[in-house]
């Protein structure tokens, strides 16, 4: 086991004392970096990049070469699981991901295998092992998956959607069919994330990107219920360390108490909620991750600094905060502004931990 040189991120997730507030960014390895665009061009296309462990490692490490980040996150895609289930993932230029097959019947669900992480998603596991080796203990590595509900929306709609009408109609009209799909996806996510943990991931995040499109009752029934199953099924300790789990539901601010009760170690917050209020509601139970509006990075470094200061002040003193954006960094952001953001967090957060 390689000794971690910087475990601030993991300690904050476990609400242990830290010297400053750790920071990383969702989508930190991405299109805003010219070096990422160069590597993707070398790979040929997005999925070829994801499926090449050496190139996936290269882009995972690129932001760490620029910025003093406290964690690396595996470069991959949430749709690797449906692809491994035989749904035929492909990408249309300007239109995002699409699937050759869609889910419409119980027979469609019955035909879906639960992927074996080493056999069917071995390229992801190889990437995790490669990244861990190249990190050499510099910072922890985060593994991730999409939530069952989020994965289901793509599998039912056949791609991205603005209103999720087909998925919601299926859930409301044929709940037994939807639960069958979600249960199989939950099994697949548990297997996938545990595979990442065994390969070397030191924390995991579940991205529930579309859970916030549901009503309160439907969120509990079709999204949170299955994330709870995943949390229950995850490996809790590996290589002598606890493996924290972060749940992130975009637009999930109404349900923070329920999310915090799932057994996760941290709740990711989008930018629509005040982090101080979130801490009052659930901060004695879990760590909080977030939550600067990603578009703040289009503002001047001075304005970014003000926003970082406001969020730190709102959270207040003590541990249990991982600074992040409230969603992923967007492609048009100036890398220098991302750098200013990260430096500000490191500089301004230290007094809150004295």
For residue range 135-158, what is the model confidence (pLDDT) as tens digits?
999 999 999 999 999 999 999 999
Question: Residue 211 has which token pair?
Answer: 């859970």
Per-residue model confidence (pLDDT) at position 3:
86
For residue range 37-91, what is the model confidence (pLDDT) as tens digits?
999 999 998 999 999 999 999 999 999 999 999 999 999 999 999 999 999 999 8
Question: Residue 343 has which token pair?
Answer: 């430096």
Residue 27 designated active-site: yes
Beta carbons of 308 and 275 less than 8 angstroms apart: no
Residue 154 designated active-site: yes
Beta carbons of 195 and 142 less than 8 angstroms apart: no
- Tally Cβ neighbours within 10 Å of residue 176: 7
Structural domain boundaries in the chain? 8-353
Q: pLDDT exceeding 90 applies to what percent of the chain?
A: 96
Residue 209, annotated as binding a ligand: yes
Residue 40 designated active-site: yes
Rounded CA separation 312/10 (Å)? 19
Q: Which of 53, 107, 52, 109 is nearest to 85 (CA)?
A: 109
| Helices vs strands, H then E, count in the chain | 16, 11
Has domain 8-353 been given CATH number 1.10.8.100?
Answer: no
- Tally Cβ neighbours within 10 Å of residue 46: 12
User: Per the residue annotation, which of 7, 11, 15, 27 is the catalytic one?
Assistant: 27
Residue 104 designated active-site: no
């Amino acid at each position: 086991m390689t000794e971690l040189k910087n475990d601030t991120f993991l300690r904050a997730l476990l609400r242990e004392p830290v010297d400053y507030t750790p920071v990383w960014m969702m989508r930190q390895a991405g299109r805003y970096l010219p070096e990422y665009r160069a590597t993707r061009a070398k790979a040929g296309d997005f999925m070829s990049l994801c499926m090449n462990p050496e190139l996936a490692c290269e882009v995972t490490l690129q932001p760490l070469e620029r910025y003093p980040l406290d964690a690396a996150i595996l470069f991959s895609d949430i749709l690797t699981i449906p692809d491994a289930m035989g749904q035929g993932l492909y990408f249309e230029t300007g239109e995002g991901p699409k699937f050759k097959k869609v889910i419409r019947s119980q027979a469609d669900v019955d035909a879906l295998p639960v992927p074996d992480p080493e056999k069917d998603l071995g390229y992801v596991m190889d990437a995790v092992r490669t990244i861990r080796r190249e990190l050499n203990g510099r910072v922890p590595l985060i593994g991730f998956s999409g939530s069952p509900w989020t994965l289901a929306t793509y599998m039912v709609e056949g791609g991205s959607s603005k209103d999720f009408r087909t998925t919601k109609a299926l859930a409301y009209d044929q709940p037994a069919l939807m639960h069958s799909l979600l249960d199989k996806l939950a099994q697949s996510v548990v297997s996938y994330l545990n595979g990442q943990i065994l390969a070397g991931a030191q924390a995991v995040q579940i991205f529930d990107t579309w859970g916030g499109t549901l009503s309160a009752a439907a969120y509990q029934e079709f999204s949170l219920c299955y994330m709870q199953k995943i949390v229950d099924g995850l490996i809790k300790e590996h290589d002598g360390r606890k493996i924290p789990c972060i749940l992130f539901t975009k637009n999930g601010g109404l349900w923070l108490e329920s999310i915090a009760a799932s057994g996760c170690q941290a709740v990711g917050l989008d930018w629509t909620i005040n982090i101080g209020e979130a801490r009052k509601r659930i901060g004695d139970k879990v760590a909080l991750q977030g939550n600067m509006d990603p578009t703040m990075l289009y503002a001047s470094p001075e304005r970014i600094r003000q926003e970082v200061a406001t969020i730190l002040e709102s959270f207040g003193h003590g541990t249990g905060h991982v600074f992040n954006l409230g969603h992923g960094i967007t492609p048009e952001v100036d890398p220098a502004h991302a750098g200013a953001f990260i430096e500000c967090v490191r500089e301004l957060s230290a007094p809150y931990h004295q």
